[in-house]
Chains A and B, each alone.
Chain A
Amino acid sequence: DGGITQSPKYLFRKEGQNVTLSCEQNLNHDAMYWYRQDPGQGLRLIYYSQIVNDFQKGDIAEGYSVSREKKESFPLTVTSAQKNPTAFYLCASSIDYYEPGQTTYEQYFGPGTRLTVT
């Protein structure tokens, strides 16, 4: 299960506080992702980054921010503007190999951080 790590496993915050979730990978992957997982709703993309110093909004970026200063790290900040932040957050990375007949965008997931905001 090594290669991509997230910390902490559980995080508790008071409403109105910003909180930063850590994601680190040593797989030498270019692309990294943040997903939010709510019961019965699958994985929803928050932000993704295909290269250092560049990132794009996903489907539910409002209230979140990211940075990609190093290839290995892609921290996610949940701001006080996020209306419903309590959720399970998954970070992932992928190698993004594109070759006709051999394309793969397989994503390797971290163990997740369960954030509870009260």
Chain B
Amino acid sequence: GENVEQHPSTLSVQEGDSAVIKCTYSDSASNYFPWYKQELGKRPQLIIDIRSNVGEKKDQRIAVTLNKTAKHFSLHITETQPEDSAVYFCAASKRSKSTFGDGTTLTVKP
């Protein structure tokens, strides 16, 4: 089955700096790669996604890149703010089944 590895497990940055979270996957048939943000005590919510026919996607301060050959994808957050502090999960999906990474706890220090 699919295996997703996510790094780092914790990340601490100063407000205004950039944050990068990386994931690798094993199943070349995975074709949809979402990123979810989970604030403390709340449910995960989709923040950005990318499909296998696209190499990069940007939405304001958030961007995601995908390298299908290397089977890795990354989340980039620029100009970080304290409200970006949360746990971020990547996932690799195929035919409606998603495999999640273990999560990255991002802390943005004011």
Residues of A at the B interface (CB closer than 8 Å) are 1, 31, 35, 40-45, 48, 50, 59, 90, 94, 96, 98, 100-107, 109-112
A44 to B73, CA, bound (A): 20
Partner-binding segment picked from B11-19, B41-49, B64-72, B75-83: B41-49
* Chain B 67-110 near chain A by CB (<8 Å), digits 1 or 0: 00000000000000000000001000101111111110000000
Partner of B103 from A35, A42, A94, A96 at Cβ < 8 Å: A42
The interface residues of chain A lying within 8 Å CB-to-CB of B60 are none
User: Please, which residues of chain B bring their CB within 8 A of the CB of A109?
Assistant: 43-45
Indicate the size class of the contact surface on chain B. Answer: 20 to 34
Binding site for A on B (CB under 8 A): 1, 6, 9, 31-32, 34, 36, 42-46, 49, 51, 53, 89, 93, 95-103
Please measure, in the bound complex, the distance between the C-alpha atom of A35 and the C-alpha atom of B43, giving whole angstroms: 12
Contact between A42 and B89, CB atoms less than 8 A apart: yes
- Which of the residues B45, B46, B96 comes within 8 Å of A50, measured between beta carbons? B96
In angstroms, Cα B13 to Cα A70, docked, is 46
Chain B residue at smallest Cβ distance from A105: B93
Residues in A whose Cβ lies below 8 Å from that of B99? 45
Chain A min CB distance to B92 (Å): 10
- A106 and B49 in contact (CB under 8 A), knowing A40-B102, A43-B89? yes
